[in-house]
Structure 1
């Protein structure tokens, strides 16, 4: 029998093998001797030398090898600190756990973590330093525990009984106490808190917030904000700092108020963070050249490092845009007032002056901290109409001295862009027009104008200049990177293109021009949309990181976001780095901050994906609500996705996406051919492929989930090449046919 000290040593060294059975196995204790071992372990627990947690025995104050923790703070070095979730208060203050960063380019990495996240951790044998007691590596990011439950209220008109149906289908329905409805009505979207729960009945709840009718856009976007954990209320300290901010005076800034800089934005834009101006370069050694000025809102002048505004901006990462409102990264006092480049008002700005040749090659650039004054606020449509010959009272005087030089400079940049050959995907973006009551009026694809492309190209060149400037100064840079496609994705794309007799090179590094050649080959053909979709899916996702790997999609060696600090935290960091490296003020990047860029890059990359998902979910839910009263109607569409389970169909008129279960298609057995992105019938060869035009009937609309279910009315095509891929599949994954109603006989197709 081992001694007490030997047992304690084993438990300390092997926390993952510290139950009674493991101890017995290690010390080869069998038979009746197990009774004595049980007594020793019981004595150790009684003496407080060992404690039992979930069948495991640990030394007091120790953590199990795998545990759930909540991220509570950041260390002085910017690394995340967590506390174990299930900690016995009798043991004192929960220990701090230093979370080791994930290695980049992992095949299956953990999503970026932030303060407030719940995460499954594995202890690591690494020195935690002075601010923590343990180190751990993340295994999995867990769903946050919600203090409130969001759902739709149903009130019985007779009994007045109120039931909440949570928007999260994983949560149980809740009985809502009629005394605490807070004015909520039937079918309202509300937030509730659970006040009492019983094992044999629904939990009880009280309404804490009435959001409004589920038919309004605000209620629908509120669901996305809730499910994605996007903060909507600014802390009092941040609001107080914003209200106390005073307009920045010129001071040592250069005076650019004589330049007729213009803001060109969407017609409904409330904040304006970039202004542009261009003129011909009169230098003899640059015939036909252009000088381009890009002025960007100087957010760094108002949002200083470590301040309440700065902490909240980092937490949000970016602004989130919905059809009728914006969840801003910064309070409106900053974003829509002090930092917005308003028409005919003095504003502080970070600006770049760039000189280009007639062929769009950049010769030089310089950065300046200035005071500027926007000469005019124009919409994209307004500027485009002026160039096309339809001027108004505002654009008429600006046409010759300002607008035409802008377009002449853009023509030069366009020639440079054509030589650079970035990836040119043609994937129109759908927009929603709302009625006054917040419901959907229509869904449309806005026209892509040269005015859009002009501003886009000017901003790209300013971003490139910022990255080049910081590299030249050996200053910290948080790059915007876009990696090349993985070999696995390229292999899948290659197999797909082979079904269309299109070859993708198998050797050498692929450049965007290779994809552009393929896209040009199928342009103006029925397969154009299909190929654009598949090429997009083969691409990696862009992210923020201090390690530069270039931007594949834009075909640029270095690229950093500089042009939108009002709505992106990454841009604010670039401004601060420029201010510090160029000696443009005392509000630049703090010394030593570069060590935090890796963690911050991961956090704001995750925030960007979170915002994109919330925006997409809101559009899907709004369209599902809009189509609720159109059940049974038929629509024309195109197959936008193919899986083993069925087909995703995108409607041509509205861009709405819905699903056709494979089990509802035809009478044959359909199998998934991954290389062809198709479902094909085993016996008849009838095939439905990504990009095919189809007609469908709407049979179900689920607004909460933002999902639509269709019935396929069109017949598939007979594609021998796809069917040949199916025959070559040795282990076909065949979907099951649905069960027939009782009394009906199932008939199998005749085999040939």
Structure 2
């Protein structure tokens, strides 16, 4: 049955009913005129009165009303009549948009240009999608709607976002097909026997789509790669890479261009020789690219901080093959078993990496501070540096804070410089916190693999060494941003706008439910800092930090400087990581052009709109974050698959009418306790106080409560993890707790 359109099990019936046109429509809601317009707008051919009546379930007694509706539509010019048949009026203007599908089969069109500013995204019902899929660029028209929102119908697909899918291969009597791993793709890909690559039933494969089909028949394709068992961690990571269409290899042109680059080993004209300074790099144990180095000197005024950043702009010239590829990627993506770098390895791990004892070209911010940490002045230069040592956070922690004797003895020559750096960053942090800069305390889980298995998921270690280097980088980013803003040079700022008022109100309700007394002052960064300080090292710490983070808008890149709310910084951009972030490369190019009094070419194309670049690079960053979360969810499911029945300590991180959301203590894996499993009583949802209350016993489960949860089910396909309550506390104890909270 080659060509048969298979659908995923959960949407088979619904999707077929919606798309099959030989069966009558369900009785429409809303006005009769709207229903007629919707029907005629979908049809290519004209329809007679009886055909319209049959499609809309119009009885004989309603024909008069239908005739009046048609007459009114004809008079208004919304429909046309030829002979005895009616058709849609003049074709409406088509609009260009990107389709975003949901797992439920319907989608939204994100319009481009002026139309994007005229309201919310356009809803697209499943039967109006045609052959369009998630991420496709399409031409669509707006159609009449009785639902009070803009609705559209896809006319044509301009560009396909998905050219291959990753999923499970199924052979059946109905034919062979691949069910996509991405549940936003509401189809299966039919595979002819000759195109199956001898794949075995149930394995994970990559299939190239060779024919996208039509509305009534889904796409077909051929297997291009067999990945293996779905329970393999590396297979799951590869599935995520394919799902998000990440660029996981460099073209031959990019590799050749990188190979031809000549290293800078001498201090050429236009560079300042800083090889005599005690520059050091400080990174994690597994880091392979070192793009920032620091050195601190004592002066009569106070301190001089040198922040030297790899001079990527020297090697990556505007509109070169490397530059175009770096712009498309926007950022490096870090996954448990690999890095998808923005730049090829020749640059990221060699020419641009500030490895110890090797001369490297850099861009240095030289920042002067007084004895209180106030910045007195700044200047910038192209430089040649030579790192004296590659330090890890662990070693710096032992050197400066644990004061391990043998470690201090080993690095005695660099110890004075590091102690000066510590003194300065203590002052910088103090000033930053005083102005209201936020320091969220949210643990970051790290996935470790052994062969093809997830060996552990544990929290990333953070110590004062992390904060030391972070404060140096923040200082450089702020200084460069302020310098370019005051010089009125177009650049991409890292902006973070004020929190969403609606989300802030939601947080206020949740905080009250947790018994937190909120500051009465103006809601500004200092207000948030006070809340964070109030819950530090308490049971509510994790929950409150997460809830506060949800109130925040996403930071983004834009040419308009509106400041950074989270850092309480009037000027901020990214300057310190050009190996892994394209906006930092933009800042380098603009800064250099300003110093040389030249015209800047910050992006691949001459004259490219920086606002457009900011949108693209913000989207690249968000995709990277999304895929990292997706991989973590996959690995979490793998890690727990063989532990069904075990009991885990957890905290209630969310409450809804259909269950409790929870986060496990040790691994910070998220899951849910469906209310259907809470069979000891009937539970009522108190949405204002974020809790479920048992109707008979008054037993209560509230946001922030500690519980023990039994693992019941792990669904690897959907990455959903379900629990049940391992123990039920005495009702009396809960009543006392409730009266206290009230």
Interval of TM-score (by shorter of Structure 1 and Structure 2) = 0.7 to 0.9
Q: Where in structure 2 are the equivalents of 1:358-397 lying within 5 Å? A: 358-387=371-400, 388-390=402-404, 391-392=406-407, 395-397=410-412
Q: What is the alpha-carbon distance in structure 2 between the residues aligned to residue 420 and residue 625 of structure 1?
A: 44
What is aligned with 2:256?
A: 240
What is aligned with 1:128?
A: none
1:589 aligns with 2:602: yes
What is aligned with 2:665?
A: 652
**Structure 1 residue 697, shift from structure 2 partner:** 1.3
* Superimposed CA distance per residue, residues 296-336 of structure 1 (whole angstroms, 9 cap, x where no aligned partner): 11111121222222222221111110012111111111211
Structure 1 residues 604, 29: closer, same or farther in 2, change over 3 A?
closer
Which range moved further: 471-480 or 211-220?
Answer: 211-220
1:356 aligns with 2:372: no
CA contact (8 A) 1:635 1:697 kept: yes
Which SS does the other structure have where 2:622 is aligned? helix
Q: Where in structure 2 are the equivalents of 1:667-706 lying within 5 Å? A: 667-706=680-719
Structure 1 residues 118, 174: closer, same or farther in 2, change over 3 A?
closer
Q: What is the alpha-carbon distance in structure 2 between the residues aligned to residue 354 and residue 456 of structure 1?
A: 15
CA contact (8 A) 1:19 1:56 kept: no
What is aligned with 1:251?
A: 268
Q: Compute the RMSD of aligned alpha carbons.
A: 4.1
What is aligned with 1:742?
A: none
1:713 aligns with 2:731: no
Q: What is the alpha-carbon distance in structure 2 between the residues aligned to residue 417 and residue 67 of structure 1?
A: 45
- Match 1:274 to one of 267, 280, 292: 292
Q: What is the alpha-carbon distance in structure 2 between the residues aligned to residue 290 and residue 333 of structure 1?
A: 36
Q: What is the alpha-carbon distance in structure 2 between the residues aligned to residue 669 and residue 121 of structure 1?
A: 50
TM-score by length of 2: 0.77
Q: What is the alpha-carbon distance in structure 1 between the residues aligned to residue 626 and residue 409 of structure 2?
A: 38
* Superimposed CA distance per residue, residues 594-620 of structure 1 (whole angstroms, 9 cap, x where no aligned partner): 761111111111111111110011011
- Match 1:333 to one of 316, 328, 346: 346
**Structure 1 residue 251, shift from structure 2 partner:** 2.1
What is aligned with 1:739?
A: none
Q: What is the alpha-carbon distance in structure 2 between the residues aligned to residue 427 and residue 642 of structure 1?
A: 20
* Superimposed CA distance per residue, residues 98-122 of structure 1 (whole angstroms, 9 cap, x where no aligned partner): 834855xx995799xxxx9534667
Q: Where in structure 2 are the equivalents of 1:266-305 lying within 5 Å? A: 266-281=284-299, 283=300, 286=301, 289-305=302-318
- Match 1:434 to one of 449, 452, 456: 449
**Structure 1 residue 64, shift from structure 2 partner:** 3.6
What is aligned with 1:10?
A: none
Which range moved further: 218-227 or 384-393?
Answer: 384-393
CA contact (8 A) 2:504 2:551 kept: yes
Q: What is the alpha-carbon distance in structure 1 between the residues aligned to residue 239 and residue 231 of structure 2?
A: 12
1:626 aligns with 2:655: no
Q: What is the alpha-carbon distance in structure 2 between the residues aligned to residue 589 and residue 422 of structure 1?
A: 29
- Unaligned 5+ residue runs, structure 1? 1-14, 42-54, 72-96, 125-135, 727-752
**Structure 1 residue 188, shift from structure 2 partner:** 4.1
- Match 1:226 to one of 224, 242, 262: 242
1:413 aligns with 2:428: yes
Q: What is the alpha-carbon distance in structure 2 between the residues aligned to residue 652 and residue 265 of structure 1?
A: 27
What is aligned with 2:503?
A: 489
Structure 1 residues 20, 720: closer, same or farther in 2, change over 3 A?
farther
CA contact (8 A) 1:18 1:57 kept: no
Which range moved further: 214-223 or 352-361?
Answer: 214-223
Structure 1 residues 622, 550: closer, same or farther in 2, change over 3 A?
same
- Match 1:152 to one of 165, 168, 189: 168
Matched residues, number: 640
Structure 1 residues 523, 145: closer, same or farther in 2, change over 3 A?
closer
Which SS does the other structure have where 1:618 is aligned? helix
- Unaligned 5+ residue runs, structure 2? 1-40, 48-68, 101-110, 124-133, 143-151
Which SS does the other structure have where 2:546 is aligned? helix
CA contact (8 A) 1:383 1:395 kept: no
- Match 2:470 to one of 453, 456, 461: 456
Which SS does the other structure have where 1:561 is aligned? coil
* Superimposed CA distance per residue, residues 109-161 of structure 1 (whole angstroms, 9 cap, x where no aligned partner): 799xxxx953466789xxxxxxxxxxx9x99x9996422221134689xx9x9
CA contact (8 A) 1:580 1:589 kept: no
CA contact (8 A) 2:364 2:380 kept: yes
CA contact (8 A) 1:494 1:503 kept: no
Which range moved further: 401-410 or 263-272?
Answer: 401-410
CA contact (8 A) 1:680 1:723 kept: no
* Superimposed CA distance per residue, residues 365-422 of structure 1 (whole angstroms, 9 cap, x where no aligned partner): 1111111111111111122212233344995244434322222222222332332231
Structure 1 residues 34, 292: closer, same or farther in 2, change over 3 A?
closer
Which SS does the other structure have where 2:609 is aligned? helix
**Structure 1 residue 448, shift from structure 2 partner:** 1.4
CA contact (8 A) 1:16 1:65 kept: no
CA contact (8 A) 2:493 2:573 kept: yes
Which SS does the other structure have where 2:289 is aligned? coil
* Superimposed CA distance per residue, residues 257-301 of structure 1 (whole angstroms, 9 cap, x where no aligned partner): 1112111111111111101111111x2xx2xx2111111111111
1:167 aligns with 2:164: no
Structure 1 residues 142, 354: closer, same or farther in 2, change over 3 A?
farther
TM-score by length of 1: 0.76
CA contact (8 A) 1:275 1:296 kept: yes
Structure 1 residues 637, 586: closer, same or farther in 2, change over 3 A?
same
CA contact (8 A) 2:393 2:465 kept: yes
- Match 1:209 to one of 215, 225, 232: 225
